C-alpha cells in the first residue's frame, strides 16, 4: 500500500520569453511510491480563466451549468517528472520531462463529448530538473523548451512547492 499525505502546494508555471504566467495554491495528496518516487494529485481551481489561457467548458445539467475542475497528476522522481491532466475538459495534456533529454508533450482537443478526441504532439527539451527534500519532496523545478519540428515555441519553468504542513492520511 502506498503511503500518502495531505499537503498544501503551490504550482507556478511561467514562460521566460512570452507573456504567460499561471500560479495557484491548493491542497494535494502526496503518495510515496518508493524512497524517491512520488505521485502528487491535486485539483486545479474551478475558475482558471483568470490565470491560464484556456478555460474549462461548462457542463449542462438539468438545473444548472457547472464548471468541472480537472485533476493534475504529477509523477515525481529526482531524474524525471510527468504531468497529466484528468477530467472532463475540451483540453488535456501530458508532459514527460527527463533531465537533459527530449521528451513529449501530448495535447488532446475534444470539441464535444460525443466526438473523438484529436491528439497533437510537441517535443520538449528538459534543460534542468531539480527535486529537493527528504524524506518527502519539498520543491520541484523543471526548466524546459517546447518545440514543434524545428520551431522553438518558448522557454518555460514549472515550480512546485510542497509546504511542510503534510500530514499522513489513513
Whole-number pLDDT of residue 56: 33
At 44-68, the pLDDT tens digits run 876 544 334 433 333 333 334 445 6
Pairing of strands 3-15, 71-76: unpaired
Give the integer Cα–Cα distance in Å for 170 and 42: 18
Task: In whole angstroms, give the CA distance from residue 99 to residue 165.
Answer: 29
| pLDDT tens by residue, 10-43 | 999 999 999 999 999 999 999 998 889 999 999 8
Average confidence (pLDDT) over 87-113: 83
Q: What cell does 169 get? A: 492520511
Per-domain residue ranges of the chain: 3-168
CA 15, CA 9: separation in Å to the nearest integer? 20
Higher pLDDT, 65 or 140: 140
- Grid cell at residue 100: 537533459
pLDDT at 70: 80
What is the CATH topology of the domain spanning 3-168? Lipocalin (2.40.128)
What is the spatial distance between Cα 77 and Cα 75, in angstroms, rounded to a whole number? 7
Amino acid at each position: 500500500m502506498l503511503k500518502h499525505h495531505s499537503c498544501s502546494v503551490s504550482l507556478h508555471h511561467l514562460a521566460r520569453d512570452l507573456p504567460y504566467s499561471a500560479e495557484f495554491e491548493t491542497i494535494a495528496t502526496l503518495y510515496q511510491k518508493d524512497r524517491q518516487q512520488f505521485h502528487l494529485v491535486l485539483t486545479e481551481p474551478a475558475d482558471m480563466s483568470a490565470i491560464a489561457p484556456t478555460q474549462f467548458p461548462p457542463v449542462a445539467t438539468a438545473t444548472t451549468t457547472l464548471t468541472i475542475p480537472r485533476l493534475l497528476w504529477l509523477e515525481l522522481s529526482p531524474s524525471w517528472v510527468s504531468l497529466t491532466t484528468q477530467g472532463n475538459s475540451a483540453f488535456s495534456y501530458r508532459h514527460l520531462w527527463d533531465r537533459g533529454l527530449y521528451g513529449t508533450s501530448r495535447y488532446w482537443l475534444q470539441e464535444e463529448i460525443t466526438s473523438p478526441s484529436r491528439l497533437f504532439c510537441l517535443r520538449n527539451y528538459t534543460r534542468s530538473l531539480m527535486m529537493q527534500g527528504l524524506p518527502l519532496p519539498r520543491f520541484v523545478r523543471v526548466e524546459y523548451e517546447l518545440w514543434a519540428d524545428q520551431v522553438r515555441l518558448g522557454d518555460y519553468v514549472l515550480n512546485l512547492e510542497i509546504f511542510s504542513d503534510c500530514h499522513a492520511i489513513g
